[in-house]
Amino acid sequence: MRVKKFLFILSQSPHDGLWVQETLDILLTVAAFDQPVSLLFLDQGVFQIKKHQNSELINLKNTAAIFKALEIYDIQDIFSEVESLQEYGLKPGDLFLPVKEIYRKELPLFIKKFDIVCSN
């Protein structure tokens, strides 16, 4: 089996249709193929991992549970852009996942390290 390095970029806000749930389905499938997967939260995507979300109130599954399960799939390379967090006033303590912070100016070189970039 071939091995490629995957990066999933999540840049959409949570609970906006089924977008994130279906994107995570791709991510988990790729991980099940034993491929190394990294995740980058960008722009409004940083809200995906903000604490204290009650998506049940708008009849959507709580995707936080899926994000928290990523560790089981050995997905630990989780990044967030510093500027995106700052723009929305979020600090690492506001997030339910530990993220590695990365600066915008580092992103082009960072993205180049991957074979497949999924930005749905």
Partner 1 sequence: MKYAIQINASPYSSGCGETAYQFIHAVIENKHQVFRVFFYFEAIYQAFQFMTPPDDEVNLVQRWSKLAEIYHIDLVICISAAQRRGLLFEDEAKRRNKVDNELAEGFRISGLGQLAEAMLEADRFIIFR
Footprint on this chain of partner 1 (rule: CB under 8 A): 1-2, 4, 6, 18-19, 22, 25-26, 29-30, 32-33, 35, 116, 118-120
Minimum Å distance from CB 48 to partner 1? 17
Question: Min. distance of Cβ 80 from partner 1 in angstroms?
Answer: 22
Nearest to partner 1 of 33, 103 (CB atom): 33
How far is residue 66 from each of residues 3, 30, 31, 82, measured CA to CA in Å? 24, 15, 13, 23
Round to whole Å and give the CA distance between 44 and 48: 8
Q: Minimum distance between the CB of residue 39 and partner 1, rounded to whole angstroms?
A: 16
CA-to-CA distance for 9 and 20, rounded, in angstroms?
11
Q: How far is the CB of 93 from partner 1 (least distance, A)?
A: 33
* Strand partners for 50: 95
In this complex, which beta carbon is closest to partner 1, that of residue 30 or of residue 97? 30
Nearest one of 97, 103, 88, 40 to 64, comparing CA atoms: 97
Which residue number, 26 or 107, has a Cβ lying nearer to partner 1?
A: 26
